[in-house]
């Protein structure tokens, strides 16, 4: 769910098939030596143009990318690949499903050179484990909170209530995602974001939709609305907003409001059936290390989220950590998107579709 906007912006025709992967779709680097196949969202850090070059310099291996269009799609593709995808990037909300389905390889922390630098609030999550065994290493985290145009707001808003304020009717952007909007409405109403009363949430969502100018799935759509001035505030991912700021929309600001924000953690995992186990560990270590994370963070237009590596965050310039919203004191304010029963997820989707159709 965290990457839904990036996916829709980048993928017009759904998931790449495994047959396309076998034909070399998304490959990068030279043709000699080993190749590591990575399941990833398109345009999300791992497939930046310089990554394949840097990784080949360090390991001698080439990279091939299989692009996904949803978290469930990643798990399905890894299952069908039967070891043909070496590493994937499951979100904290879905990694447990992959663990239960036997898709991921148990991780040996002695082979994870950066594991000791991961924020303990993330590294210690029970969702990454089963029977005491670790199956994922946190890579990035972020929030879907409040953004606004500071040319309109002379005093910075600090509350989600601005999204419901009739003063801004027809000028609000809303993320078209039930797992974002329902917990956001729950935070606004003082409800438990994991278990809100849908009877309380429904009228709040209807009021929010009535105030909205834009229901968006694509960062491109949001960027157009913001550049034209038709939207002045809304709900968005911190990395997407940070990327827009880095690309010149410096009037935009992002904040975790006083009520909190929806949070997410993306984690690298190794396929249980990989034939490149050593190389897969090399990838996890490269991705979670300072060489990659620092360069990504220092390039605003590449829209880096906040690194889960505390040591890296501490080494960044304060202007960078501000843009990335990489403030460890805010971690406790995040209502993480966590695994939920299928029935609850369906009830959320049903409610959101009802609100949209109303």
**What are the respective helix, strand and coil percentages of the chain, to the nearest 5?**
45, 20, 35
Residue 193 burial (10 A CB sphere; 0-12, 13-18, 19+): buried
Residue where the block lists tokens 């939709």: 209
Prediction pTM value = 0.81
Residue where the block lists tokens 């889960």: 308
Q: What is the pLDDT of residues 59-71, one digit of tens each?
A: 999 999 999 988 8
Whether residue 71 contacts residue 1, with contact meaning beta carbons closer than 8 Å, is answered with yes
CA distance 48 to 68: 16
Residue 293's H or E segment, with its range, is helix 290-297
Residue 233's H or E segment, with its range, is strand 233-237
Residue where the block lists tokens 């043709």: 31
Whether 130 has a pLDDT exceeding 80, the answer reads yes
Read off the pLDDT band of 23 (50, 70, 90). very low
- Mean pLDDT across the chain: 89
Whether 24 has a pLDDT exceeding 70, the answer reads no
Which pLDDT belongs to residue 33?
67
Q: What is the pLDDT of residues 272-310, one digit of tens each?
A: 999 999 999 999 999 999 999 999 999 988 889 999 999
Residues 6+ apart with CB under 8 A from 303: 239, 240, 242, 243, 246
Task: Classify residue 316 as left (phi > 0), alpha (psi -120 to 50) or beta.
Answer: beta
Which pLDDT belongs to residue 243?
84
Alpha carbon 211 to its chain centroid, in Å, reads 26
Q: What is the pLDDT of residues 96-124, one digit of tens each?
A: 999 999 999 999 999 999 999 999 999 99
Residues 6+ apart with CB under 8 A from 295: 50
Whether 238 has a pLDDT exceeding 60, the answer reads yes
**β-pairing, 261-270 with 172-175?**
unpaired
Going from the N-terminus, what domains does the chain have, and what CATH number goes with each? 4-141+264-326 (3.40.190.10), 142-262+336-357 (3.40.190.10)
pLDDT, greater one: 10 or 147: 147
Read off the pLDDT band of 27 (50, 70, 90). very low
Whether 313 has a pLDDT exceeding 90, the answer reads yes
Read off the pLDDT band of 341 (50, 70, 90). confident
């Amino acid at each position: 769910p965290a990457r839904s906007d990036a996916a829709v912006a980048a993928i017009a025709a759904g998931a790449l098939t495994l047959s396309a992967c076998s034909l070399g779709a998304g490959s990068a680097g030279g043709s000699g030596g080993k190749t590591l196949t990575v399941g990833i969202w398109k345009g999300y850090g791992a497939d930046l143009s310089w990554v394949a070059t840097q990784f080949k310099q360090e390991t001698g291996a080439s990279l091939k990318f299989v692009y996904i269009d949803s978290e469930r799609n990643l798990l399905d593709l890894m299952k069908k690949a039967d070891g043909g995808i070496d590493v994937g990037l499951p979100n904290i909300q879905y990694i447990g499903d992959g663990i239960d389905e036997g898709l991921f390889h148990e991780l040996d922390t002695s082979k994870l050179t950066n594991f000791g630098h991961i924020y303990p609030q993330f590294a210690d999550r029970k969702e990454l484990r089963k029977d005491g065994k670790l199956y994922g290493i946190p890579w990035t985290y972020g929030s879907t909170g409040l953004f606004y145009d500071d040319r309109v707001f002379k005093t910075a808003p600090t509350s989600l209530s601005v999204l419901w304020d009739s003063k801004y009717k027809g000028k609000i952007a809303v993320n078209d995602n039930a797992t974002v909007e329902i917990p956001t409405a729950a935070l606004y109403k003082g409800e438990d974001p994991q278990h809100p009363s849908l009877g309380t949430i429904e009228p709040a969502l209807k009021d929010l939709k009535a105030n909205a100018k834009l229901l968006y799935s694509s960062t491109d759509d949001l960027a157009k609305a913001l550049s034209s001035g038709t939207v002045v505030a809304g709900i968005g991912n911190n990395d997407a907003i940070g990327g827009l700021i880095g690309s010149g929309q410096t009037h935009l600001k992002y904040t975790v409001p006083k009520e909190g924000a929806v949070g997410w953690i993306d984690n690298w995992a190794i396929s249980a059936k990989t034939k490149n186990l050593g190389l897969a560990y090399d990838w996890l270590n490269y991705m979670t290390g300072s060489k990659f994370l620092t360069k990504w963070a220092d390039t605003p237009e590449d829209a880096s989220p906040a690194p889960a590596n505390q040591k890296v965050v501490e080494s960044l310039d304060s202007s960078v950590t501000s843009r990335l919203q990489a403030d460890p004191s805010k971690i406790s304010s995040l209502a993480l998107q966590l695994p939920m029963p299928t029935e609850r997820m369906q009830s959320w989707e049903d409610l959101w579709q009802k609100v949209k159709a109303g």
